[in-house]
């Protein structure tokens, strides 16, 4: 697949605690001009605190709301509830298994019945004690890879749902480097052989510059104290001991990520950013003045990834790209202000993607 179809999608995270029923937030999305929506589990559909009968009713209401509005929930995504846990990298197997059996699998089954295409998530992080222990890190990462492969298999067998892990920007939340992301894709695919993807966020290249590899003439000891090149030979430096804790310059640019990995990212999160902070701003005229995310440049970078000759051992390139606005709302914003910035964001991108489902070749 070298010519994916492109869609503009709105994440309903803007609606959290304001419009909490499917019928309500889906109408707001449609009124703002969106035909496709990404549903955050934070907006009252997290499997860990939602009773089964409630979830049945929720998906039934969603089905009716889709019929009445003409809008469609095309993907589901985790929110802050799961983002703020060690999740699949938890030290206790019981916690990991509970997430697999009671969070992922029930939701995947329901997503398949809803006709949605995918589930994306950020649900694992490595604690400091694991990061500082090579053997522990290796073992824990292998555990995560096995669980991701298990979920890829389950998602494929239950509705051919695409699952994708979100790219982050610090060592404790892999994948956070381009090379590390390739390795994760390869490792999971080597076990599963079913689709497993990455979610790129155009604002998630803001932290890597803080963890660049140290200069070759200056190393660091494990405790962080500087040593000269001569002294470094007395004890292995951090770069040798902990290569997974360092980034490269290429990791600090969102367009490098897109050029390399967009073809393996059916969900790409959009936010306006100045390249310094990932604040999930809208694409409003004021934000766009200093913003580095430009629609034409994004589309060109995506095209480059599909033209790239990737090595064997990676999943098939995605046939659809869902460019999904992940725009947060402040607690003090008025409803009309929120809706205004959603409309502004859509208008800005519609200049380059006039309608949903067009092939990339028609847009670049």
Question: Of the given ranges (213-222, 225-234, 314-323), which has the lowest mean pLDDT?
Answer: 225-234
Which pLDDT score, from 0 to 100, does residue 1 have?
60
Report the mean per-residue pLDDT for the chain: 93
Span 284-295, pLDDT tens digits: 999 999 999 999
> How many of the other CB atoms lie within 10 Å of CB of 47?
19
Which pLDDT score, from 0 to 100, does residue 233 have?
43
CATH 3.20.20.150 in the chain is located at: 5-209+251-363
**pTM metric for this prediction:** 0.94
Span 303-362, pLDDT tens digits: 999 999 999 999 999 999 999 999 999 999 999 999 999 999 999 999 999 999 999 999
Of 307, 229, 329, the closest CA to residue 3 belongs to: 307
DSSP per residue over 81-92, as a string?
A: HHHTS-BTT-SS
Span 41-97, pLDDT tens digits: 999 999 999 999 999 999 999 999 999 999 999 999 999 989 999 999 999 999 999
Please provide the CATH number assigned to the domain covering 5-209+251-363. Answer: 3.20.20.150
Q: Which residues, other chains included, contact 35 with Cβ-Cβ below 8 Å and sequence gap of 6+?
A: 70, 71, 72, 356
């Amino acid at each position: 697949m070298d010519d994916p179809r492109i869609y503009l999608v709105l994440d309903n995270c803007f609606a959290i605690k304001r419009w909490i029923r499917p019928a309500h937030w889906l109408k707001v999305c449609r009124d703002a001009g969106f035909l496709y929506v990404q549903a955050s589990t934070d907006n009252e559909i997290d499997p860990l605190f939602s009773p089964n009968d409630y979830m049945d009713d929720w998906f039934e209401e969603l089905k009716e709301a889709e019929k009445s509005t003409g809008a469609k929930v095309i993907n589901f995504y985790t929110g802050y509830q799961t983002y703020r846990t060690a999740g699949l990298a938890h030290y206790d197997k019981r916690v990991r298994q509970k997430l697999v059996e009671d969070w992922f699998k029930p939701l995947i089954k329901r997503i398949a019945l809803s006709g949605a295409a995918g589930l994306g998530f950020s649900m694992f992080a490595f604690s400091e004690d694991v990061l500082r222990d090579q053997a522990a890190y290796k073992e824990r990462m292998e555990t995560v890879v096995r669980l991701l492969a298990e979920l890829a298999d389950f998602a494929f067998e239950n509705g051919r749902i695409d699952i994708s892990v979100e790219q982050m920007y610090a060592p404790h939340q892999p994948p956070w480097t381009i090379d590390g992301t390739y390795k994760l894709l390869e490792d999971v695919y080597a076990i599963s052989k079913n689709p497993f993807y990455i979610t790129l966020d155009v604002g998630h290249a803001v932290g890597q510059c803080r963890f660049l590899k140290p200069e070759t003439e200056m190393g660091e000891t494990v405790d962080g104290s500087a040593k000269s090149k001569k002294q470094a030979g007395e004890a292995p430096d951090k770069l040798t001991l902990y290569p997974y804790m360092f980034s490269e310059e290429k990791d600090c640019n969102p367009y490098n990520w897109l050029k390399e990995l967009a073809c393996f990212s059916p969900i790409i999160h959009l936010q306006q950013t100045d390249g310094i902070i990932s604040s999930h701003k809208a694409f409003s005229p004021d934000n766009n003045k200093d913003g580095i995310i430009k629609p034409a440049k994004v589309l060109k970078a995506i095209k480059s990834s599909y033209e790239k000759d990737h090595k064997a051992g990676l999943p098939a390139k995605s046939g659809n790209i869902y460019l999904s606005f992940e725009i947060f709302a402040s607690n003090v914003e008025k409803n009309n202000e929120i809706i205004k910035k959603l409309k502004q964001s859509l208008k800005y991108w519609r200049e380059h993607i006039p309608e949903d489902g067009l092939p990339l070749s028609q847009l670049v």
